[in-house]
Structure 1
């Protein structure tokens, strides 16, 4: 996995726990998961923007 061994991964996990604390890790993980999910969603959506006026607005005018 990216050329990292067990020792390096454990060291990174220990540093993360020291920085954020054990109680904040679920929040950090869920935030990171949401960020990845939003990035994937944004990269797969079409880049075109629909600027066609809706027909409901034309009826009110």
Structure 2
């Protein structure tokens, strides 16, 4: 993790790898969003859930 990268960003990057490997363009279009936008939104949603879980432990 670099100085400019937060733990949330690192979690989002890990989640993005999963979404890119397992999500199709069709799912993004069906959601009415651009492909890049849906991947970014989902990655940060997962990162936020991971951050919240850290607080709960």
Taking structure 1 as the reference length, the TM-score comes to: 0.42
Please identify which structure carries the higher helix content. 2
Greater C-alpha radius of gyration = 1
